[in-house]
Amino acid sequence: MRDVAIVGANMLKFGRYPDKDVVTLASEAAIAALKDAGCAMKDVEIVVSGNLYQSNAMIGQRIMKEIGATGVPVINVANACATGSTAFREAWMSVASGAYDVALAIGSEQMGKMGLLGGDAASREYSTEGVMGTGLMPGVFGQAGVEHMRKYGTTQEQFAKVAVKNHKHSVNNPYAQYQIETPLEDVLNARPIAWPNTLYMCCPTGDGAAAAVLMSADKARQFTSKPIWVAASVLTSDPYTPRNPVMFDINTLTRNASKEAYEKAGIGPRDLSMVELHDCFATAELLHYENLGLCGDGEAGRMIDEGETYVGGRIPVNASGGLLSKGHPLGATGVANIVEIAWHLRGEAGARQVEGAKAGLAHVIGLGSACTIHILKK
């Protein structure tokens, strides 16, 4: 595999765009990324588009028709919440393999105000929701957190501290859907959604788009003096574990992915300057501290208690505000995480800048399940 650089990276502020359609959002993000790269559609040799809810609607080609239908290959990707990061990985693979020199990865989603529950799947007559347990995401991630409580005595308050941190970080991120600080008391007293997660411990739905331009090393040198290198791009699915998929196992595939990513990048968790991880619910974040090797098993509660994952702490996690505040337009999320890390590595992250950032890890998990990890280096 060849070295691949991120040369352009950009995103729209996540939020609600009722007056625009998803192709427009994706097109705006793509144009912004191309501009950031200093190149144009005519330079792009392959396009990979991630979109989940309209995965049968040829969003990638529709973007091309909007911004420049050059006739190059377009791949449409759907992979649950890992849709955007899988699209990025396909773009990376296209260049790393030597088949193409310039690839454009775009992630987009328009969810509107569909709420936490998504679609109407649970209204079917034979739906088991609420009569034979839960398959709704808040409850599923509630159970995942409760498993950590069972193993290590982790408390609801420790999970709530994740929300306090990420909402605090979001105040410095103008691209975040919400920029509202939530003190611990407010988080704990917020409306319960699925215990132990309260409203402020759940990511919002919304609209958004993000894009990245990837190039081979030779090509990158023609366009930028600040390439960001993709040191590892890993995708895993959930291997057999006895309770999966009755209880989605979000841990094993993340552990497998992080092990492989560190090996490929030739660095370990202690070499990371920052992490953007998949905090769809506050409970998930603590589990991933351990899954990504940021601390030992059972130490995640202590880690958040001691503030180690704040910007300025030992290893900042979700400096962007995370999914909890930045938002989680499904197909856009995975690309946006990578954009965020790239900005920090270039020193362009504004008030939330992790000082001296040299290497960062972007983690995404989509239930069902898919996990991507990208390690980026200066």
Which residues does the annotation mark as catalytic?
A: 81, 328
- Among positions 125, 225, 312, 351, the unique one binding other proteins when judged by CB under 8 A: 125
Quick count: other Cβ atoms within 10 Å of Cβ 2?
11
Residue of the chain from 242, 270, 312, 356 that contacts other proteins (CB under 8 A): 242
Stretch that binds other proteins, among 42-50, 122-130, 297-305, 316-324 (CB under 8 A): 122-130
Interface segment toward other proteins; rule CB under 8 A; list 120-128, 173-181, 258-266, 368-376: 120-128
According to DSSP, residue 227 is labeled -
Greatest alpha-carbon pair distance for the chain in Å reads 60
Give yes or no for residue 217 binding other proteins (CB under 8 A). no
Q: Which residues contact 363 (CB under 8 A, 6 or more apart)?
A: 254, 257, 258, 275, 276, 277, 278, 288, 292, 337, 371, 372, 373
Residue holding tokens 């991933």? 288
Shortest Å, Cβ 133 to other proteins: 3
Distance CA(315)–CA(322), nearest Å, equals 14
190 binds other proteins (CB under 8 A): no
Q: What residue spans of 75-128 are helical by DSSP H? A: 83-96
Strand partners, 230: 376
Can you name the residues that pair with 376 across neighbouring β-strands?
Answer: 230, 360
Asked if 122 interacts with other proteins (CB under 8 A), we say yes
**How far apart, in whole angstroms, are the C-alpha atoms of residue 246 and residue 372?**
22
Minimum distance from residue 192 beta carbon to other proteins (Å): 5
Does residue number 136 form part of the binding site for other proteins (CB under 8 A)? yes
Smallest gap from residue 154 Cβ to other proteins (A): 10
Using CB under 8 A as the binding rule, the residues of this chain from 80 to 119 that contact other proteins are 116-117
- Whichever of 72 and 247 has its CB closer to other proteins, that residue is 247
CA angle 263, 268, 271 (to 5 degrees): 140
Query: Which residues partner with 211 through β-bridges?
Result: 10, 106
Question: Whole-number minimum distance, CB 109 to other proteins, in Å?
Answer: 21
- DSSP states of 15-61: B--TTS-HHHHHHHHHHHHHHHHT--GGG--EEEEE-STTTTS-HHH
Judged by CB under 8 A, the residue of 193, 280, 287, 339 near other proteins is 193
Kindly state the smallest distance separating residue 151's Cβ from other proteins, in Å.
10
* Angle, alpha carbons 290-275-90 (nearest 5°): 105
Paired tokens of 251 = 């841990």
Closer to other proteins at the Cβ: 58 or 122?
122
Shortest Cβ distance from residue 247 to other proteins (Å)?
Answer: 5
Task: Give the binding range for other proteins (CB under 8 A) out of 1-9, 142-150, 297-305, 347-355.
Answer: 142-150
Q: Determine if 237 is a binding residue for other proteins (CB under 8 A).
A: no
Q: Can you tell me whether residue 214 is helix, strand or coil?
A: strand
And the tokens for 47? Answer: 């396009």
Among 42, 71, 126, 351, binds other proteins (CB under 8 A): 126
Choose the stretch contacting other proteins; rule: CB under 8 A; options: 3-11, 72-80, 238-246, 293-301.
238-246
Give the interface segment with other proteins, choosing from 44-52, 99-107, 205-213, 241-249 (CB under 8 A).
Answer: 241-249
**Pick from 194, 181, 184: nearest CA to 157:** 184
Q: Pick from 130, 266, 298, 307: which binds other proteins (CB under 8 A)?
A: 130
Say whether residue 146 binds other proteins (CB under 8 A): yes
Least distance to other proteins, CB of residue 170, Å: 22
Residue 120 burial by Cβ neighbours in a 10 Å radius (0-12, 13-18, 19+)? exposed
Listed in sequence order, the residues at least 6 apart from 43 whose beta carbon sits closer than 8 Å to its beta carbon are: 102
Least distance in Å: CB of 120 to other proteins? Answer: 8
Which range in 49-57, 87-95, 124-132, 358-366 contacts other proteins by CB under 8 A?
Answer: 124-132
Residues that bind other proteins (CB under 8 A): 116-117, 122-123, 125-136, 138-140, 142-143, 146-147, 149-150, 153, 191-196, 240, 242-243, 246-247
